[in-house]
Amino acid sequence: MDEVGSKSFILTSITGLAIGVVLAMQSRGTLIRFGAEAVLPNMLALSVVKEIGPVFTSLVLAGRLGAGIGAEIGSMRVTEQIDALEVAALKPFHFLVITRVLACIIMFPILTLWTDTIALTGGYMESYLASGMDYRIFIATAFESLRFSDILVDTLKTGFFGFIVGIVSCYLGFTVRGGTREVGQAAMRAVVGSSLLILLSDVIIVRISMLLFGDAGS
């Protein structure tokens, strides 16, 4: 849990800040052209909380944790440490896989909320520097168009992304055969495989949540 959490904290903070600042800078020009600069906070909040925050956070974590878990379990496999657990009747699956998958399921949503917060803070800082926007107005406008169900669904879906990263990386690590080269390949496949599955399942989850909760704009 600690391994999943503490270092990823810094990583997601940087991700969040970059997302917020860049998104605000990019959008401002366009919105000004349409005379809609006032809705910038709405737009930022919607895109960060509903899509960019969860997906970016999950992809960044897939890179870090997918490679880490894939390589760690893979090297335990090729050095017979997993066999050693099994022979000692210590149920390696429970011991290694369940703990890691659970940690991912719990940490992904928490870190996503954190990334969202930092991203909106970054967006506000940009707005303040560019147009001296008052933070009360920013917050009020930002939360105007967000529904609680949006925050809930789009944050909790990252728990599922965490599940994907955990399961895919553990599986690829567990099934390595060979030596260090194969361990490296397993780590790489864990990152690529879980990233692709995250993007794919995101499409499906968004589709389903629209059917269940309706479109955010409506």
Partner 1 sequence: MTEQSIIQLRDLKKAFGAIEVLKGINLDVPNNHCAVVMGGSGSGKSVLIKNIVGLLKPDSGSISVLGKRVDLIQGDELDQLRLSIGYLFQSGALFDSMTVSENLMFFLERHLNLSPKEANDKIMQTLEWVELPEKLNDYPADLSGGQKKRIALARAVIMEPKILLYDEPTTGLDPVSVRMVSDLIVRLQAERGITSVAITHDLLCAEIIADSVHFLQDGQFVASGSLEEISRFDHPAIATFFGNETSHAS
User: In this complex, which beta carbon is closest to partner 1, that of residue 79 or of residue 131?
Assistant: 79
Supply the angle between the helices 135-144 and 99-131 in degrees, to the nearest 10: 130
User: In this complex, which beta carbon is closest to partner 1, that of residue 86 or of residue 150?
Assistant: 86
Query: Binding to partner 1 by residue 2, rule CB under 8 A?
Result: no
Start-to-end CA span in the chain (Å): 39
Compute the C-alpha angle 54/58/63, nearest 5°.
Answer: 155
Tell which one of 7, 14, 30, 79 touches partner 1 (CB under 8 A).
Answer: 79
Query: Binding to partner 1 by residue 144, rule CB under 8 A?
Result: no
Query: Binding to partner 1 by residue 150, rule CB under 8 A?
Result: no
**Which pair of tokens denotes residue 40?**
């910038």
Shortest CA distance to 110 belongs to which of 162, 166, 74, 40?
162
Site string for partner 1, 81-110 (x = CB under 8 A): x-xx-xxxxxx-------------------
User: In this complex, which beta carbon is closest to partner 1, that of residue 179 or of residue 214?
Assistant: 179
Query: Binding to partner 1 by residue 37, rule CB under 8 A?
Result: no
**Which pair of tokens denotes residue 206?**
């968004």
Handedness of CA 105, 52, 40, 22 (dihedral sign): positive
Residue ranges that bind partner 1, judged by CB under 8 A: 79-81, 83-84, 86-91
